[in-house]
Amino acid sequence: MKKRIRKAVFPAGGLGTRFLPATKVIPKEMLALVDKPIIQYGVEEAIASGIEHIIIVTGRGKSAIADHFDHSFELEATLERRGKHELLAVSRGVSGLARISYVRQKEPLGLGHAVLCAKDLVGDEPFAVVLPDDVIDAKVPCLRQMIRVFDQRGGSVLATQTVEGPGISAYGVLSGSQDPDNPRIYNCTGMVEKPKFEDAPSKQAIIGRYVLTPRVFELLEQTTPGAGGEIQLTDGILALVKEEKVFGYTFEGKRFDAGDKFGMLQATVEFALKRSDLGPQFREYLKGLQL
């Protein structure tokens, strides 16, 4: 049963503690990278990858996300009255981006639990998961690259990046072997969450993009919560690996962890430098700092 990937789940129910105090009131997913909330980068990537239906898993204090993707009547009427047509198009463009549904995760019980909250909206078809704090700069959208692998190989696909050195301990790491036909593909036999550097089974670190078959929902339902009462997505995927083909895929592009202060700073510098309206001025400013 190979079906087209039409839906993408965006888990956005977490507390964003790494970015306190900014995230005390403002959802992490709404923090601006240059001038756009980080979740919008993911939504645009999903649409550019052929996704037709976005499902955002929200929680307490996250209503700004739904407001952002909705019409803003007062703002748009004011911009129209003032003749600010470019800004009006920007605002209208956001609300016209995609078909978006929302489901609430009543308590932040883990990433696996958040994905499970989308089960009824996804139904019995393969789907994508996009973690909004991972912002990816790529010529071909990362999710599109992954969907291509899914279409060719017919199994779940986990995006990975190669991490050299002890930094690997911050990630879930794949075990398995590189595919003989395509060095970007990794035939996955398992994974270890945040291993010690010396215990890491490979250099393939899992990042926040997944294409999964719906079987993962049943497996997540059977997963017993781990430490802190959380249901981890990794546990569901580990169970999936035992039953179905699962591939790692080293995507082409650069990923930034915008849910982390340092990652957000890196992304801000690189995205701003690439902007035609800001880049030249910003480059001069940075040069002038004489670091």
Chain residues in the site for ligand UTP (CB under 6 A): 11-18, 28, 57, 105, 108-111, 113-114, 131-133, 259
To ligand UTP, the closest distance from the beta carbon of 129 in angstroms equals 9
To ligand UTP, the closest distance from the beta carbon of 41 in angstroms equals 13
For ligand UTP, the closer of residues 23 and 153 by Cβ is 23
Q: Which residues contact 83 (CB under 8 A, 6 or more apart)?
A: none
To ligand UTP, the closest distance from the beta carbon of 264 in angstroms equals 11
To ligand UTP, the closest distance from the beta carbon of 148 in angstroms equals 24
For ligand UTP, the closer of residues 79 and 205 by Cβ is 205
For ligand UTP, the closer of residues 65 and 246 by Cβ is 65
To ligand UTP, the closest distance from the beta carbon of 34 in angstroms equals 19
**C-beta separation of 160 from 191 below 8 A:** no
For ligand UTP, the closer of residues 12 and 192 by Cβ is 12
For ligand UTP, the closer of residues 18 and 254 by Cβ is 18
How many angstroms separate the CA atoms of 35 and 13, rounded? Answer: 22
For ligand UTP, the closer of residues 45 and 133 by Cβ is 133
Residue of minimal Cβ distance to ligand UTP: 14
To ligand UTP, the closest distance from the beta carbon of 233 in angstroms equals 8
